[in-house]
Amino acid sequence: MATGNHFEWQLFNGTQWASISNDLVIEAHYCQPGANGITIYFNIGAVNIDFDEMTVSGPLHNLSVRRNTLLSPNQKQEVGWYYKDNHRWCEYGSQGFGGRASSIGSDLIEQQYNSNPSGSVQFTAGSMTYNVDFTAMTQTNLSTNMSRKVRRRPKFNAIVTSNSINQNSSQILASPFANPTNSSSQYIWEFMGDEGIWTEYQKPGCSLDSAEIERLYQLNPQCQVSFTARRFSYFLYFGGMYQVNNKYGTKRAVRRITGGIQQTHSALSQARWQFKDMDGNWKDFSKGGSRGHSSVSSQDIEAQYQQDSTGTMSFTAGRFSYELDFSDMTQTNQSTNTRRPVRRLQQ
């Protein structure tokens, strides 16, 4: 990353992420709301970056692109929200809508977006009411149903520094680095998967792994990081510990656990989770691919139980989906509503 820059553009060539030289040019284009993308030239040929989808096309099929934002805890980057008028992109709060200004500006929209990236916000302009859909990135006139494109882009080199950050918050932010001997490999980064199972970020399915996420986190525990997983692009927000699908707005919880948690797997494995089968016998949750086996093991269930001993988690067994309720200590077949007792044995 260039010295003093608060951003870093990187290209993944199928093997590793590499910083892009002169990425100031990319950043300047990206901050323009009317820019769809940019074509840059490498020794492998011309590469085109799509700013809306955060995808890249070029001579290689496995290329990916990402923009890392690296700011101090007391800094934030100004973000602009824009709608496509008949001829140009207009920022919310400025003159538009036939000479009328909207009742909401970029700052308020950004606040709503950060609180719920898959939600929406309504505002008025003159006598009309509009709805901005964060998932579809569209603005809709609720009277005429006319829809317009919406874009969210950072403002070039516009960094706001707050002097109000207190010492206590600084100490909290610094606490993960209390032990200077900690290395990236001692931390594991996981997201909450579809079945309620914590899943580690791993290559090659994901463009980031735990070690690289930890490196970026060490640089700035309040920044946001872009990455790809299969054909989708995401943003990982360290401040809120969640990730967002850039296309659908789906939000998932993220956690950072010490390498010691892997060591504690030995402790977790000491707890056995069992369900009472139809024959009346208690049977262990067994993770495996054969028919009838569960998608989770005792270790998986115990790890979730340690996170929230009064919550629930979902899993599959065979062709059925189940919900395990830690409060009731039961599992329920989501298709048949059959409930069976569950128990936790401490070895």
With bands split at pLDDT 50, 70 and 90, how would you rate the model's confidence at 341? very high
For residue 130, tell me if it sits in a domain.
yes
For residue 170, tell me if it sits in a domain.
no
d(CA 188, CA 190): 7
For residue 282, tell me if it sits in a domain.
yes
Task: Report the Cα 297 to chain-centroid distance in Å.
Answer: 26
Chain segment 152-173, per-residue pLDDT in tens: 999 887 887 765 444 333 222 2
For residue 61, tell me if it sits in a domain.
yes
pLDDT at 263 (0 to 100):
40
Task: Give residues with Cβ within 8 angstroms of 298, minimum separation 6.
Answer: 268, 269, 271, 272, 273, 284, 285
Last residue of a domain, one of 24, 47, 69: 69
Q: Are residues 180 and 257 in the same domain?
A: yes
With bands split at pLDDT 50, 70 and 90, how would you rate the model's confidence at 126? confident
Instruction: Write out the H or E segment, with its range, that includes residue 113.
Output: helix 106-115
Q: Are residues 181 and 259 in the same domain?
A: yes
For residue 171, tell me if it sits in a domain.
no
Q: For residue 117, give its domain range.
A: 76-159
| Mean pLDDT along residues 269-289 | 77
pTM above 0.85, yes or no: no
Q: Are residues 284 and 206 in the same domain?
A: no
Q: Are residues 190 and 220 in the same domain?
A: yes
Phi, psi of 44 (to 5 degrees): -85, -10
Work out the percent of the chain whose per-residue pLDDT is above 90.
18
Q: Are residues 203 and 232 in the same domain?
A: yes
Q: Are residues 290 and 324 in the same domain?
A: yes
d(CA 244, CA 320): 28
Distances (CA, A) of 267 to 74, 197, 240, 286, 307: 39, 19, 29, 18, 15
Say which CATH number the domain at 111 has: 3.30.720.50
Last residue of a domain, one of 26, 44, 69: 69
pLDDT at 116 (0 to 100):
85
What total of structural domains would you count in the chain?
Answer: 4
pLDDT at 261 (0 to 100):
42
pLDDT at 138 (0 to 100):
95
User: Mean pLDDT across the chain, nearest whole number?
Assistant: 79
Q: Which residue has the tokens 């309620």?
A: 196
Q: Are residues 235 and 281 in the same domain?
A: no
